[in-house]
Amino acid sequence: MIKPKLMLKFFAKNVAKTGNPLGIENARINRWWKEEQIKRRGEWLFFTGMLYQLTPYIEPLLKYIERLENSKFQEVLRMANFSRSLSAFLLSSITPRKSLEETNKILSNIYFILNSSIDVFYIPEIDTYSGILMYEFGDHDNFAMHARSVIEKLEEHGVRRIVTVDPHTTYALKNVYPKFLEVNFEVKSYIELLDPKKLSRSEEYVIHDPCYYGRYLQLSEVVREKLKKAGINYEEIRNSGKLTNCCGGPIEALAPKISKSIAEIRVNELGRSKIITMCPICLANLRRVKSNALDLSEVLFDGS
């Protein structure tokens, strides 16, 4: 395991400087909307929290960390210019183009399907990471400081309703922010708001409920309702919904090997059907062990 304090320091510094834990400027990774016709005003603010955009950079980071994971050389993480060069390294060419394209497609898919059921809009400049990782590390000070800056930007734009795309951001904005600060907005996951079209698909799927949706936010039933409405067949396993099992993702940066072993256990349990996920961290982590995991949006909207 990487020393937790070292990792936390790396993340917290990056968040303070660039707004996200990997230290890459949001403007450089948040590109899904560039080619699309988006509205800048409306009822529901589309808020990605940057997790999907960061995911393609996580795999190269983990390959790097795996080498430090159980070694005394991890002290290098302490050095300031090391952090800077790591962020630069992550931005460089090794990030697979395919996963960047997939990320953009997932986000624009979600945006446009929402657009057909609600009045949704997007302001790229105020879309930022939620800070949830610092909360999970128990670093309340840095979390609250970051949350305040997120809320201020939302307030400046008079945002009252927010639609989120991943479970971590949803939980942070909906359940954790109000514990620390006054919030005047309502938060819903896109899954609650979408109105899927009937599709004709013959494949059998299995659902991997993310822990935050399955237990903390209790949205698993909504997921199933929407899948049924879209005519998608899925099998239920014991460990789903409230009893879902973790993909290992949350500890990927501290202990990538352990995280991978957890993903292996989970993928074995899910069986051979195509896996539906709805969290970028689950998606990436389940794919690290060669599974056929897909994002919910790819199942619901692909080809539509």
Partner 1 sequence: MKIYEALENKSIRDGILRTVRNLSYQVDKNLQKHPYLVEYAEEVRNAKKEIIANFDFWIEKAMGILQSKGVEVFYANDANEAIKVVKEIVGSKKIVVKAKSMVSEEIDLRKYLERMGNEVWETDLGELIIQLKKEKPMHSVLPALHYSEAQVAEILKKIGINGRNAEELAEGVRDFMRKKFMSANVGISGCNAFSVDSGRIFLIENEGNIRLATSLPRKYIALVGIEKILQNDRLALKSVLLQSAFFGTFPPTYININEKIEQQEMFVIFLDNGRKSTEFKEQLLCIRCGRCQLECPIFQNFGNIWGGSAYGGPMGIIWTAITEKKSELCFLSTLCGKCREICPMKIDIPEMIRELRRSIIMRK
> How far is residue 177's CA from residue 148's CA, in Å, rounded to a whole number?
9
Distance, CA of 171 to CA of 164 (rounded, Å): 10
- Nearest approach in angstroms of CB 172 to partner 1 is 13
> In the complex, what is the shortest distance from the CB of residue 70 to partner 1, in angstroms, rounded to a whole number?
5
Cβ-count burial 24-56 (b if 16+ within 10 Å, e if not)? bebeebbebbeeeebeeeeebbbbbbbbbbbbb
Beta carbon of residue 242, minimum distance to partner 1 (angstroms, whole number): 6
- Between 227 and 255, name the residue whose CB sits nearer to partner 1: 255
Give 138 or 303: the residue with its C-beta nearer to partner 1: 138
- Smallest distance from the beta carbon of 31 to partner 1, in angstroms? 30
The gap between the terminal CA atoms of the chain, to the nearest Å, is 44
- Between 127 and 139, CB nearer to partner 1: 139
> How near is the Cβ of 80 to partner 1 at its closest, in Å?
19
Nearest C-alpha neighbor of 299 from the set 224, 249, 213: 224
Least gap, CB of 257 to partner 1 (angstroms): 6
Judged by beta carbon, residue 222 or residue 258, the one nearer partner 1 is 258
Q: Among residues 5 and 160, whose Cβ is nearest to partner 1?
A: 5
Q: Which two tokens stand for residue 253?
A: 């940066």
Chain positions contacting partner 1, by CB under 8 A: 1, 3-5, 8, 70, 135-140, 211, 215-216, 238, 242-246, 248-251, 254-255, 257-258, 261-262, 265-266
Torsion of CA 10, 13, 18, 23, to 10 degrees: -10
Q: What are phi and psi of 217, to 5 degrees?
A: -105, -10
Please name the helix (run of DSSP H) or strand (run of DSSP E) that holds residue 161, with its range, or none.
strand 161-164
Q: Which is nearer to partner 1, 56 or 248 (CB)?
A: 248
Q: 98 vs 238, which CB is nearer to partner 1?
A: 238
Amino acid occupying residue 170: T
Shortest distance, position 250 Cβ to partner 1, whole Å: 4
Select 73 or 97, whichever has its Cβ closest to partner 1. 73
146-155 long-range contacts (CB < 8 A, ≥24 apart) are 146/15, 146/16, 147/172, 147/176, 147/177, 147/180, 147/181, 148/181, 150/177, 151/177, 151/181, 151/183, 153/125, 153/126, 153/128, 154/45, 154/126, 154/185, 155/184
CB of residue 160 to partner 1, shortest distance in Å:
30
Question: Which H or E element spans position 190?
Answer: helix 190-193
